[in-house]
Amino acid sequence: MKRILVTGGAGFIGSHFVRYQLAQYPGVHIVNFDKLTYAGNLDNLAGVDESRYTFVRGDIADADAIRAAMESCDAVVNFAAETHVDRSLMGASEFIDTDVRGVYNIVEAAKQLNAKRVLLVSTDEVYGSIDEGAFTEDDPTGPRNPYSASKAGGELMGRAYHQSFGVPVIITRGSNTYGPNQYPEKVLPLFVTNAIDNRPLPLYSGGEHNVRDWLYVEDHCSGIDCALRNGAPGEIYNIAGGNERENIALTHRILELTGRDESLIKLVPDRPGHDRRYAIDASKLRALGWRPGMDWDEGMALTVQWYQENEPWWRRIKTGEYLEYYKKQYGENG
């Protein structure tokens, strides 16, 4: 793979993946195709080696545009998506445009162009919630919110294109990812940046009952890379962090690392249909040689330190559209 198309490369995980590829593979050229929605941010790619990197502004829901971008590349890795559950609960139209129609456009173009590899970055949320144990790739999916339903829809189209036409589609399902450059609508950067500002941390439903499995962003990138290079077409690979934490425990850790106390915790009404626990088994990807490298305590310390040292990055975001969304989502509780 000499030229890889990365869609959504200006977002959180996509931008780390662009850097990861450029650092690991000196012969690779990356084409980043991104619509630059509210979540896309070219600051995330500041300083990348421009001689091995090209940016194209475009929408994966635009069939001609994505096909044209794919023509010059050997492989495509799709990160482009609407990604926030709470926004999908306010209205899912854009989720369907990007996460379903956009993925359809990618696999259809891959069929026409005989693409060598199509990796669809998906999520553990497509399995739905699980009280005990962990989902494997053979378990049925059961998405329970509009975001995860749209991701499952895109996945199904990818799997159908593999079955029907032999398009070499590989799917990864990652768990909750954390690290630098995450848009501060997601719980971890939201709570860290609010804590820095001494503002309330709006915790849904008390936070004791909800569990997420945290995966450091570089480990998510190395997992996707492992599936891309060593995985088999038509297969699905779980990428788990192995760091299950109740939301209340995560919140306490953030307060500790930012030097704040519990008085900042604000219990707010629950998310509708809130999935209690996500858990996946990554044995299948581990069998291909992948291992997560980041220790939880170190990853959290590095992440909090990054937000402390990069205030201009998130203060630029926490204006305009962000503040409108925040008011709509949290109202008086913000």
Q: Which of 87, 101, 186, 245 binds ligand DAU (CB under 6 A)?
A: 186
- If one asks whether residue 210 binds ligand DAU (CB under 6 A), the answer comes out as yes
- If one asks whether residue 193 binds ligand NAD (CB under 6 A), the answer comes out as no
Q: Which residues 29-68 are close enough to bind ligand NAD by CB under 6 A?
A: 34-37, 39-40, 59-61
Q: Which does 12 bind (CB under 5 to 8 A by kind): ligand DAU, ligand NAD, none?
A: ligand NAD
- If one asks whether residue 86 binds ligand NAD (CB under 6 A), the answer comes out as no
Asked if residues 248 and 201 have their Cβ atoms less than 8 Å apart, the reply is no
Asked if residues 253 and 259 have their Cβ atoms less than 8 Å apart, the reply is no
Shortest spacing between CB 112 and ligand DAU, in angstroms: 29
Shortest spacing between CB 105 and ligand NAD, in angstroms: 9
Closer to ligand DAU at the Cβ: 86 or 225? 86
Determine the Cα–Cα distance for residues 148 and 78; give it in Å rounded to an integer. 16
Q: Is 125 an active-site residue?
A: yes
Neighbours of 54 (CB within 10 A): 15
Q: Which of 66, 130, 203, 236 binds ligand DAU (CB under 6 A)?
A: 203
Closer to ligand DAU at the Cβ: 111 or 271? 271
Shortest spacing between CB 321 and ligand DAU, in angstroms: 16
Shortest spacing between CB 250 and ligand NAD, in angstroms: 13
Determine the Cα–Cα distance for residues 143 and 301; give it in Å rounded to an integer. 32
- If one asks whether residue 278 binds ligand NAD (CB under 6 A), the answer comes out as no
Q: Which does 231 bind (CB under 5 to 8 A by kind): ligand DAU, ligand NAD, none?
A: none
Shortest spacing between CB 224 and ligand NAD, in angstroms: 9
Of all residues in the shown chain, the one whose CB is closest to ligand DAU is 123
Which of the residues 147, 161, 178, 216 is marked catalytic? Answer: 147
DSSP state letters, 306-331: HHHH-HHHHHHHSSHHHHHHHHHHHG
3-state SS assignment for residue 238: strand
Residue 197: burial class (beta carbons within 10 Å; 0-12, 13-18, 19+): middle
Q: Is 124 an active-site residue?
A: yes
Q: Is 147 an active-site residue?
A: yes
Which of the residues 86, 125, 155, 219 is marked catalytic? Answer: 125
- If one asks whether residue 187 binds ligand DAU (CB under 6 A), the answer comes out as yes
Asked if residues 125 and 275 have their Cβ atoms less than 8 Å apart, the reply is yes
Asked if residues 211 and 275 have their Cβ atoms less than 8 Å apart, the reply is no
DSSP 145: S
Determine the Cα–Cα distance for residues 94 and 88; give it in Å rounded to an integer. 8
Q: Which does 80 bind (CB under 5 to 8 A by kind): ligand DAU, ligand NAD, none?
A: ligand NAD
Q: Where are the beta strands (DSSP E) in the chain?
A: 3-7, 29-34, 53-57, 75-78, 117-123, 169-174, 177-178, 201-204, 211-213, 215-216, 236-239, 244-246, 265-268
Q: Quick one: tokens of 114? A: 């005989």
Q: Which does 158 bind (CB under 5 to 8 A by kind): ligand DAU, ligand NAD, none?
A: none
Residue 47: burial class (beta carbons within 10 Å; 0-12, 13-18, 19+): exposed
Phi first, then psi: give them for residue 298, nearest 5 degrees.
-70, -45
Q: Which residues 148-177 are close enough to bind ligand DAU by CB under 6 A?
A: 175-176
Asked if residues 11 and 79 have their Cβ atoms less than 8 Å apart, the reply is yes
**Which residues of the chain form contacts with ligand NAD (CB under 6 A)?**
7-8, 10-14, 34-37, 39-40, 59-61, 79-83, 98, 102, 121, 123, 151, 174, 176-177, 183
**Which residues of the chain form contacts with ligand DAU (CB under 6 A)?**
83-86, 123-125, 175-176, 186-187, 190, 202-204, 207, 210, 212, 247, 271, 278
Report the catalytic residues: 124-125, 147
